[in-house]
């Protein structure tokens, strides 16, 4: 395992050096970062993440670029890992990270509120939309009503069913506010080339204990 990890870091170093020359390599790196982080999510890493403060300033979020990707390649411990998200219908499998820092959003889905809790209120996540539609939150645009969204903290698995999908103005931040009496999830990513935002929302329909069987849905 240690040898494999060292090999992975060497590969990341070589890829990072080539980022400025090749868009495809940048896309590959972003995809690899998400998959690698997702594979390393454990109850221990989740517990440690409680000590991470997180960045929740929406105004600091900017389009992903090669500099951010290179930084995320090496700054792998500056964000907290809170769990996983899966939308099998559109082949989305990502780690859930604390906050909206460049590293978090270059790696997976970032939490949009500091105090949000899985299975409670309006659990809001944001992610980058990439021109390569299989990376990060790009698949959000291909979701359909009725499809399932799964999140887990490796203690429980929360299942949501999509009931709202729409394009909203970037200033419509109230869409992530809690709604009295509702347990829901909100996923946000760019639309119309960044001029607007996709908002996909779902209602909590099931909570299960995290077991080998219930966690199988998070395996791509």
Q: Which residues are catalytic?
A: 128, 190
What is the rounded CA–CA span in Å between residue 71 and residue 78? 11
Q: Between the CA atoms of 210, 212, 215 and 220, what dihedral angle is there, to the nearest 10 degrees?
A: 170
Query: Could you say which DSSP state residue 180 is in?
Result: T
Element (DSSP H or E) covering residue 157: strand 156-168
Contact partners, residue 49, CB within 8 Å, separation at least 6: 80, 81, 82, 98
Nearest Cα residue to 26 out of 64, 57, 58 = 64
**Token couple for 18:** 């080539």
Nearest Cα residue to 164 out of 181, 149, 180 = 149
Helices (H), strands (E): how many in the chain?
5, 8
What is the rounded CA–CA span in Å between residue 207 and residue 107? 26
Query: Could you say which DSSP state residue 218 is in?
Result: G
């Amino acid at each position: 395992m240690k040898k494999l990890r060292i090999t992975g870091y060497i590969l990341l170093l070589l890829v990072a050096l080539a980022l400025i020359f090749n868009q495809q390599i940048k896309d590959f790196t972003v995809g690899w970062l998400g998959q690698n982080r997702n594979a390393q999510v454990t109850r221990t890493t989740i517990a440690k993440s409680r000590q991470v403060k997180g960045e929740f300033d929406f105004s600091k979020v900017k389009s992903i670029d090669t500099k951010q990707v290179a930084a995320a390649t090496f700054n792998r411990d500056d964000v907290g890992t809170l769990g996983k998200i899966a939308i099998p219908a559109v082949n989305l499998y990502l780690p859930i990270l604390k906050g909206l820092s460049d590293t978090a959003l270059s790696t997976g889905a970032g939490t949009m509120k500091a105090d949000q809790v899985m299975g409670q209120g309006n659990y809001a996540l944001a992610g980058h939309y990439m021109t390569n539609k299989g990376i990060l939150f790009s698949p959000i645009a291909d979701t359909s009503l009725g499809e399932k969204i799964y999140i887990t903290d490796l203690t429980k698995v929360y299942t949501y069913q999509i009931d709202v999908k729409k394009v909203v103005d970037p200033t419509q931040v109230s869409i992530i506010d809690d709604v009295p009496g509702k347990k829901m999830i909100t996923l946000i990513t760019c639309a119309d080339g960044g001029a607007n935002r996709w908002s996909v929302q779902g209602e909590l329909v099931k909570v299960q204990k995290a077991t080998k069987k219930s966690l199988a849905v998070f395996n791509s």
